[in-house]
Amino acid sequence: MSKQINVALIGNPNTGKTSVFNALTGLNQKVGNYPGITVDKKQGICKLSRGVKAHILDLPGTYSLNASSLDENVVIELLLNKNDKDYPDVAIIVSDVENLKRNLLLFTQIKDLKIPTILVINMSDLMNRKGISLDIELLEAKLHTKIALVSTRKNNGIQELKQLIENYKTISKETCLDTSSIDTAYFESLQKAFPNQDVYKLWLVITQDANFGKITRQELDISKFKTKSNQELKRLQQKEAIKRYQFINSILKEGQTIDRSKATGLRSKLDRLLIHKVWGYVIFFWILLTIFQAIYDWATVPMDLIDTTFASLAEWVKNTFPNGGMVTDLVAEGIVSGIGGIVIFIPQIAFLFLFISILEESGYMSRVVFLMDRIMRRFGLSGKSLVPLISGTACAIPAVMATRNIENWKERLITILVVPFTTCSARLPVYLIIIALVIPEGSIIGLSYQALTLMALYLLGFGMAIFSAYILDRVLKTRHKTFFVVEMPNYKLPLLKNVIITVIEKTKTFVFEAGKIILAISIILWVLASYGPGDKFNNAEAYIEPTTQTSYERNDQIAAFKLEHSYIGIIGKTIEPLIKPLGYDWKVGIGLVASFAAREVFVGTLATIYSVGSANEGENIDTIKNKMQNETYADGTKVFTLASGISLLLFYAFAMQCMSTLAIVKRETKSWKWPILQLIGMTAIAYICALIAFQFLK
C-alpha cells in the first residue's frame, strides 16, 4: 500500500508558485472548486520514492494570514482545520529570491502554526546576475527550517525538494518568534480561556472573518470570550507585522548580501514604454492584432486536416455500418458530425490559450491591467475589474469567480453583470465559422480581413462591457473612492513547460466540458430531426413531384422535406417569424435555441442538422462550411450573406447564450434577480443590434 503525504503549496502572488507546482506534478493535476465556494482548487500528484507519493494542493496566492479576500480565507481555513482531509503534513512556502523580505512574513506566520515548513527560494538562477548571495545554513538555523534553492527554468533543486518533502518529519516545528509579546496580558487571558489550544491559532480565529466550519463550533468556540474591538484588533495586527519584519530584517542582515552595482535598469526602461499613456496602448493593440492574425494563419493546416478527417469518418461509417440502419445514421449524422463541429476548432483555441499563457508568464499581463485601470475608472470600475474581464476571454465562469477579490460589493456586482460581454473561447467556434462564410479572403497592410473582423469582435465585446458598466454605475449610483494596487512582477522569458501544461490543460478542459454537452445535444437533435409526426414526414416521397432530376437530387429533396417536417423542423418553424427579421432561417433558429446550453453547441448543432438525411451516401460528404455556404431559401437566395452573417456575429457577441454562466452568477449574487435581469438585458441588446445590422446591410 502506497503512502501519501499531504503537501500545501503556499506563497505570495508572482513568486513562481505555479512553476514549482508544475515542476512537481507535470500533467498529473486537476482543477476543481472547494466545496461550497467558487474558488479554484488545484491539486496534483508527485511521485517520490518507491511506494511514496505526495498530494500537492496549490493554494490561492496570499500575502499573509491576515485575510482580506475569499481566496486568502481558503488558506487560513485549511491551515486551522486538522479535521480537513487536505490538512497538510508539510507546508511549502514559495518565495522569490528578489523579494525574500516580503515573502518571509507569510513564512513566519505559518511556522507559528507549528506545521513542518519548507522554504523554497525560487528563481535562484538570477542570484549571480542580481548580485544576491545567501548564507543558507545560517538562514536554516535562524528560521528553524530546511531551504530548497530552486530554479524551475533550469530544473534545478526539484529533486532536493522532493527529498525534503519525503523527510518532512525531520523538519523542526519550532516557531520563529513569540508574537504574544505584542500584548502579553491579552494573550495570557486567551490562553487561560482555552488552555488546550495553541494561542497563535486562537489569535488567527479571533482576527479573521472566515468560516472555520467544525473548528469554531467544536474546538474553538470564541463567542463567549470577551475580545477586543475591531479597531484594537487591527492595531494589534499591525504591531504583529512590525514585530515580524523586525525579526526578518535581523535575519537577512546576517544571511543575505546584495551587490546593488549588479542591478540593471532594463525593467524600468521597459515599463516606461509598455505602460506609457500613449505607446502602451499602441503596443497592446499591435500585440492583439498579431495574436489574431496568427490564430488564423497557423491554424489553417491542422483545421483543414481535422475537417477532411471527420468528413471521411462520417463517410466511412455510412459505407461500413449496416446500410440504412438507425445506429449507422446516429453515429454518422449525430455523433461524428456533432463532435467534429467542435474538434475542428481545437487548433485555434489552443493558439489563443498559448498566447494568453505567454503574456501572463512574461509578466506583461500585469502591465496591461495597470495600463487599463486609467480607462476603467472613468466607467465606474476599478483596475481589479480588468482581471475578470481579461480572464473572460477564456471563459465567463472563472471570470465571474475572479470578481471575489473586489472588496466593494457594487463594483463587484457591476463586474459580474458585464463580464459575459467579453468574448470567451466558447464564442470562438461560432465566430470562426461565420467569418469564414461571409468575410472575403484578402488582406490590408499584411492583415487579413478575417483576422481584423475577429479582433473587432473581441474589442466590441470589451467595449460593450465597459459601456454597460458606465450605465450601471449611473443607475446603481456607485459613487465611492477606491484605490487600485497591482504588483508588477519582473519580466521573464516564459517557461516552456508552464506554457505547454497551461495550453494542454485549458484546451482539454474546454473540449471535454463542451464535449459532454455537445454529445448529449447532438443525440437529442438527431432523434428530433430523424423522426416527425404526421403524413408529411412519414410519407414524404408522395409530396415530392417526379421530375427529370437524378435519383440523388430527388433523394436530397425528400431528405430536406422530411427535415422540415420533423420534430426539430417544427420547433424551428415555430420560432422562425421571430428571427426572420434578423436574417435567420428555421435551421439557424434551432442552433440559437440549442446553443443556450453552451455557445459552442451552435456549430455542432448546425453540423448535425445539415448532416441528417444526407442522401448521397457513398458519395462526397460536404464539410459543414460547404453545406452552410450552399444553404438557400426557397427562392434560391443564400441564407448566409454578409448581412445575415454580421447580424449573427453581433447576436452572439452580445447575447448571454450560456446557462452555466447564469447559474454561476446566481451562485455569486445569491439571488435569481441579477441573472434574470442579465439574461433579459443582454438578449434585448443582442436582438436589437442584430436587427439593425441586418436591416441596414441587406
CA distance 222 to 204: 11
Residue 691 inside a domain? The answer is: yes
DSSP state string for 363-427: THHHHHHHHHHHHHGGGT--GGGHHHHHHTTT-HHHHHHGGGG--SHHHHHHHHHHGGGS--TTH
235, 363: one domain? no
The CATH number given to whatever domain includes residue 81 is: 3.40.50.300
From CA 517, how far away is CA 607, in angstroms rounded?
Answer: 15
The answer to whether residue 145 sits within a structural domain is yes
pLDDT reported for residue 29 = 61
- State the angle between helix axes of 346-362 and 496-530 in degrees (0 to 180), rounded to the nearest 10: 150
CA pair distance 160, 149, nearest whole angstrom: 9
Q: Is 291 in the same domain as 253?
A: no
CA atoms within a 13 Å half-sphere pointing along the CA-CB vector of 631? 25
Q: Are 271 and 265 a contacting pair, CB within 8 Å?
A: no
Closest to 16 measured CA to CA, from 157, 151, 163? 151
138 neighbors 147 (Cβ within 8 angstroms)? no
Cα four-point dihedral sign 77, 78, 79, 84: positive
Is residue 402 within 8 A of residue 668, CB to CB? The reply is no
Q: What is the DSSP letter of 261?
A: G
Domain of residue 388 covers 279-308+346-476
In a domain, 487, yes or no: no
Cα–Cα distance, 204 to 180 (Å, whole number): 12
Q: For the chain, how many residues are written?
A: 698
> What is the structure's pLDDT at 226?
59
> Quick one: how far is CA 73 from the chain centroid?
21
- Tell me: do 243 and 288 sit in the same domain: no
pLDDT of residue 510: 62
408 with 460, same domain?
yes
Q: Which of residues 232, 263, 294 is at a domain's end?
A: 263
Three-point CA angle 120, 97, 73, nearest 5°: 60
Q: What is the pLDDT of residue 516?
A: 66
C-alpha count within 13 angstroms, C-beta hemisphere, residue 80: 30
Indicate whether 402 belongs to any domain. Answer: yes
Q: Is residue 633 part of a domain?
A: yes
* One domain for residues 552 and 467: no
Cβ neighbours of residue 459 under 8 Å, at least 6 residues apart? Answer: 288
The DSSP annotation for 72-117 comes to: HHHHHHHHH-TTSTT--SEEEEEEETTSHHHHHHHHHHHHTTT--E
pLDDT of residue 89: 92
pTM: 0.61
With a cut of 50, list the residues of the chain below it in pLDDT.
Answer: 33-38, 210-218, 613-622
Q: Give the sign of the dihedral formed by CA 659, CA 664, CA 670, CA 675.
A: negative
State the cell numbers at 635.
Answer: 427562392
Three-state secondary-structure class, residue 494: coil
* Alpha-carbon gap, residue 132 to 398, rounded angstroms: 38
Same domain, 75 and 121: yes
Q: What pLDDT score was predicted for residue 36?
A: 40
- Is residue 70 within 8 A of residue 79, CB to CB? The reply is no
Domain end residue (candidates: 202, 232, 263): 263
φ and ψ at residue 9, rounded to 5 degrees: -100, 115
Shared domain for 237 and 360, answered yes or no, is no
Amino acid at 629: Q
Residue 436, in any domain of the structure: yes
Same domain, 248 and 298: no
Rounded Cα–Cα distance for residues 683 and 602 (Å): 16
199 and 283 assigned to the same domain: no
Whether residue 500 lies inside any domain: the answer is no
Give the end of a domain, one of 236, 263, 290: 263
My answer on whether 530 and 462 are in the same domain is no
pLDDT at site 618: 38
Residue at 65 is within a domain: yes
| Confidence at residue 481, expressed as pLDDT on a 0 to 100 scale | 52
How far apart, in whole angstroms, are the C-alpha atoms of residue 668 and residue 72?
A: 17
Read off the amino acid at residue 671. Answer: S
List phi, psi (to 5°) of 413: -60, -45
What are 648's three cell numbers?
449573427
Three cell numbers, residue 444: 490590408
pLDDT single digits (tens) 400-416: 766 766 666 777 888 88
pLDDT at 558: 74
Query: What does the pLDDT read at residue 404?
Result: 65
CA distance 366 to 387: 9
Q: Which three cell numbers stand for residue 179?
A: 508574537
* Same-domain check for residues 579 and 690: yes
Torsion of CA 450, 455, 456, 460, to 10 degrees: 140
Q: What domain count does the chain have?
A: 3
Residues 437 and 546 in one domain: no
